[in-house]
A and B are shown apart, each in its own frame.
Chain A
Amino acid sequence: MSADLSQQLQQRIQHAYEAKLALQIVGGNSKSFYGRSVAAETLSLAGHSGVLNYEPTELVITARAGTPLKEVEALLNQNGQMLPFEPPAFSEQATIGGTVACNLSGPRRAYAGAARDYLLGCKIINGKGEILTFGGEVMKNVAGYDVSRLMAGAMGTLGVLLEVSLKVLPKPEMELTRLFNCSANDAIEKMHAWSQTPLPISATSFHDSVLSVRFSGAAKAVNAAVNHSGGEINEDAEKYWHDLKEHRLDFFNTDKPLWRLSLASDIESLALENSAADYLYEWGGALRWLKTDSPAAEIQAAMEKIDGHASIFRHTDQVNVFQPLTPALMRIHKNLKMAFDPHNILNPGKLYTEL
């Protein structure tokens, strides 16, 4: 399926701009739980799809924002390549545009980089209905401010993504996962000791006394790495990492608020009152999922102290879904929002009430 809906989308945004009518931007509606809710008319990108340029030896793919993520991944897979940031889809309908807009990355992130790291360029419609192109389809490009990366994680509040260009990489020849029974602190120690060596680690997780470590690369290198690391073999590793990425592990089956904590990887524990809090670690300890009823203010205050940030990923009715910004940073955010969306019509309030 391939269709160019740029013109219709542009007209709708122009109209909304003139009428000062807010729009809720929706791709595949796979991550609607994420971020603050937006009460507004829907602008759907789902039909605006199609891969526009892909040449495997150039390591770049360009697709319309509404292209299903699974379609992009299937095409890359046919050519032995992948999106290196291993994005979660959360549903069959997930789009490549939504993936970039949310800047969510999977288990490989700590070792390969995030969605924003692989974003080379994008075409957007701003809040006035103007079509703009930033970045491009080449890997090294320092002409002008890096506005395309600014779109990654902006959740549509600065512009509606029309097209995105991403760097891709060859899939590793082999992947093996090893399991280790240990305490949380031992897991932190092990992950840090290994990450200071050239071992080809591509994912780590810890939960319920089990540390999982995935090694990826040339077959000889991966075999040598697991000989060195020891540990038990995980026979069903592919499913495990997929379920972790897609939040299908039992851990994620909960009605409690699910928090996403981004922090320095070697922090041993957070000073939270509710000691019954249940954690799952990823990214060598730099990402922690937390199930807790503790109030947002307490968690975000604890994170502020260690220069990290906390967001409520699922099950929330709280105001501050994302870590509050300092007044000085918020002022710059508001200025940027004004520059790209002067009538505040694109996903207003999706990130913060002020934006």
Chain B
Amino acid sequence: MNMTDKEEHSGNKLSLLKALLKILPEDAVLHEKEDLHPYECDGLSAYRKLPMIVVLPDTIEQVQSILRLCYELELPVVARGAGTGLSGGALPLENGVLLSLARFKEIIHIDPKRRIARVQPGVRNLSISQAANQFGLYYAPDPSSQIACTIGGNVAENSGGVHCLKYGLTVHNIQQLKIITMEGELLSIGGSGLDSAGYDLLALMTGSEGMLGVIVEVTVKLLPKPERAQAILAAFDNVVKAGEAVGNIIAAGIIPAGLEMMDKLAIRAAEDFVHAGYPLDAEAILLCELDGTNEEVSEHVARVRDVLHQSGATEVRTAKDEAERLTFWKGRKAAFPAVGRLSPDYYCMDGTIPRKQLPRVLKTMAELSIEYNLPVANVFHAGDGNLHPLILYDANIPGELERTEEFGGKILELCVEVGGTITGEHGVGIEKINQMCVQFNSLELTHFHAVKAAFDEKSLLNPGKAVPTLHRCAEFGAMHVHKGELPFPELERF
């Protein structure tokens, strides 16, 4: 940035500040450097940037006015919930406005009869279930950050959790959204019924990473709490056998509420950390949770135990009471921080694969781990094929972060190669933007850009995230020659 740019930047900032203070009270506009720091990154803390200004509106009208102003001034806007995202989706832009929805934290209404909750976007995921508990209801998607993450962010990322196989992702559990477009228009998407007229804009908004509109209200579906939940822990002396056991449970006609796998390194880390009683000599463990009516759970527990034994489990334990069930889960839920104790830093990946490809993917990852000299612990939503390899590294060693990212990128490309995807639930954000060039061709990416333009013509909402430009892919492609073919051969090279 040369001097004139800098002067222009501060001049812009000043006039923007003046205009924003006409819309918002003083305490809702942050512009001093020290006040901006808490907003410089989200859960992907390797990427940091200070926004020009942070705004904290608390009414829909304020959000509309802010967006209208930024639309007029052609200033980019990044919306932010709790900032727990893992892909840099809420990374600010230094020439833009960071729009925090943190003050929208009211649960507007719970309707137990219709089994829905109308909430503001800044409401935390877990607090919806807590509020619905008095009616025997809960909100099913439970991302691991559920005590902190907000429902607005969940919708923006289409968050999952450990119960997706049976209960679906965010997209399956919401009914209506209120959003504000970049032009400041309030839209209601979805309806009071189970479907709505026209195109499925509700699906399009879910997982759109803040690129199409700012979510200001969410109506979620609530489910009756299952009468009973029971957990089974099975140990295997071989990871492939554990993977096959998952297929065998499903072949038996049973859809568990949760079906998780951990490999040896993850088991050790979790056991050292929370003492969940995991078998330390196992190469892999499966954690299978069954829920439903009392009778159904009893029947399924017996059948799953049989299947696990027949699949070669070296040990099968059923939680003897609720306390033990929670202990089984404690190890799994603490797996990320537990792995974090083994190493100064870790990098969490998020690919999904067809489950039958697990042996091949694990073998290749082990080879890459040796090649890059970086250990990997594997935590796996085994039921739905969503892998979370955790690469252990030390950011203080020069070049190690870069090597880690390269290794991570290879894992994602491997997921695409075996018929999977680069992200199952964490989103693309800034983190996986290069791998989007591997998963989609230029025509498909062009359509993504057109979808954005259908909502946000000037490309001001969270620009530069989630969908790479064709130019970026061409540059990335120059480094990654796939099967001897340059991707995007139709593009000019500079």
Residues of A within 8 A of B (CB): 55-60, 80, 103, 109-110, 113-114, 116-117, 126, 130, 132-134, 136-147, 149-150, 152-154, 158, 169-171, 173, 192, 195-200, 217-221, 223-225, 261-266, 283, 286-287, 306-309, 311, 322-326, 328-329, 332-333, 335-336, 338-340, 351-352
Contacts and interface: CB of A to CB of B under 8 A. Distances in A.
B253 A173 contact: yes
Contact of A217 (B189, B292, B423): B292
B3 to A, nearest CB: 40
B454 A146 contact: no
A142 B176 CA distance: 19
B126 to A, nearest CB: 21
A328 B164 contact: no
A170 B292 contact: no
B487 interface: no
Nearest to A121: B421
Contact of A144 (B157, B448, B450): B448
A218 B113 contact: no
Interface size bucket, B side?
35 or more
A266 B113 contact: yes
A262 B113 CA distance: 17
A145 B250 contact: no
B85 to A, nearest CB: 11
Contacts of A143: 421-423, 428, 432, 436, 439-440
Given A117-B172, A197-B136, A140 B424 contact: yes
20 contacts: A58-B354, A114-B195, A133-B444, A138-B421, A140-B381, A140-B421, A143-B423, A143-B439, A144-B444, A153-B200, A154-B200, A170-B254, A192-B114, A198-B293, A218-B300, A220-B299, A265-B193, A307-B188, A307-B192, A308-B191
A326 B189 CA distance: 11
B451 A139 contact: no
Interface string B152-175: 000001101000110011011000
Nearest to B445: A144
Interface stretch (B35-43, B223-231, B265-273, B402-410): B223-231
A197 B428 contact: no
Nearest to A221: B296
B11 interface: no
B157 A142 contact: yes
B427 A132 contact: no
Contacts of A192: 113-114
Given A262-B194, A287-B194, 9 more contacts: A60-B354, A137-B419, A140-B421, A198-B226, A217-B293, A219-B299, A224-B293, A307-B192, A311-B197
Interface string B405-437: 000000000000001111111111000100010
B36 to A, nearest CB: 29
B140 to A, nearest CB: 12
Interface stretch (B52-60, B201-209, B325-333): B201-209
